[in-house]
């Protein structure tokens, strides 16, 4: 960073950390979060009256919260809640694949898994009601979180990395600690407070519009012009 004219960070977590290390260097940092194509990931009027479908739209491994989700939904399924879980993402390791298959075999009618390419993700979001972004270790500006917000899905996210830049607890979703019991409580709240989900859905879309590609391009253009002295 000392050798750079400017540095771009996609989340404020990095900037705040730098302030504790060498605060003068943060004068070089520009905050430009990632963007979502709000024309592709568009909002539709949701219906939260029946069975709630939850989507986990990311790679399936520990760092992204795969095991927290499976543990939490095992509890929820065993308690008899009318919920479904859709896991959409790549599984990399044999160990993770074995754990996933064991979970799916235990709940064959309530949980499902698939891999989809980017262009197919819109339909996956539209089949669901709430998105799960339960990162455990580190996160920037999550693209899957932004895509979920663009489609008007309330998001249950962990307070890790840049996720608190996107999710405001009680406004467009729930912000929780990366713990199984907190995820269970957040899902139960969704089931018990359906009217809140409608409010969160509208706020989710408004959040996505603040992270549109046009705004992202304008921010980058401003930084480039400043660095180049234009």
- Using CA atoms, how far residue 144 sits from 119, 141, 149, 195, in Å, is 13, 9, 9, 24
* Nearest Cα to Cα of residue 137 among 155, 156, 159, 166: 159
* Mean pLDDT within 11-20: 94
Our CA dihedral for 162, 168, 174, 176, rounded to 10 degrees, sits at: 50
Whole-number pLDDT of residue 83: 97
- Residue 43 lies inside a defined structural domain of this protein: no
Task: Give the model confidence (pLDDT) of 53-62 as tens digits.
Answer: 999 999 999 9
Give the model's pLDDT for residue 130.
Answer: 98
| H or E segment and range at residue 132 | strand 130-133
Residues 113 and 25 in one domain: no
| pLDDT score of 230 more than 80 | no
CATH of the domain at 94: 3.40.50.2000
As for how many domains the chain has, the answer is 2
| pLDDT of the residue at 10 | 95
Same domain, 169 and 216: no
Question: What pLDDT score was predicted for residue 8?
Answer: 96
Residue 70 has pLDDT above 90, yes or no: yes
- Other Cβ atoms less than 10 A from the Cβ of 71: the count is 16
Mean pLDDT in the chain? Answer: 96
Residue 41 domain-assigned? no
pLDDT tens digit sequence for 99-158: 999 999 999 999 999 999 998 999 999 999 999 999 999 888 999 999 999 999 999 999
Q: 194 and 128, same structural domain?
A: yes
Tell whether 198 and 138 lie within a shared domain: yes
Examine the domain organization and report whether 181 and 143 are in the same domain: yes
Q: Which domain holds residue 105?
A: 52-209
pLDDT band at 229 (very low <50, low <70, confident <90, very high): confident
């Amino acid at each position: 960073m000392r050798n750079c004219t400017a540095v771009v960070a996609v989340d404020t977590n990095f900037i705040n950390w730098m302030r504790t290390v060498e605060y003068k260097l943060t004068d070089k940092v520009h905050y430009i979060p990632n963007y979502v194509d709000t024309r592709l990931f568009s909002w539709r009027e949701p219906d939260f009256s029946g069975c709630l479908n939850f989507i986990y739209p990311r790679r399936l491994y520990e760092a992204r919260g795969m095991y927290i989700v499976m543990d939490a939904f095992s509890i929820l399924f065993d308690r008899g809640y009318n919920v479904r879980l859709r896991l959409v993402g790549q599984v990399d390791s044999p160990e993770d694949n074995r754990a996933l298959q064991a979970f799916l075999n235990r709940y064959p009618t309530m949980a499902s898994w698939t891999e989809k390419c980017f262009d197919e993700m819109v339909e996956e979001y539209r089949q669901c009601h709430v998105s799960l972004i339960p990162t455990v270790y580190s996160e920037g500006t999550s693209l899957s979180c932004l895509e979920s917000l663009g489609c008007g899905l309330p998001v249950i996210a962990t307070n890790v990395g840049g996720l608190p830049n996107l999710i405001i607890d009680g406004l467009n979703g729930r912000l929780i600690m990366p713990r199984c019991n907190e995820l269970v409580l957040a899902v139960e709240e969704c089931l018990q407070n359906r009217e809140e989900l409608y409010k969160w859905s509208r706020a989710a879309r408004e959040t996505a519009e603040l992270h549109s590609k046009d705004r992202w391009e304008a921010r980058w253009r401003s930084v480039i012009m400043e660095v180049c002295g234009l």
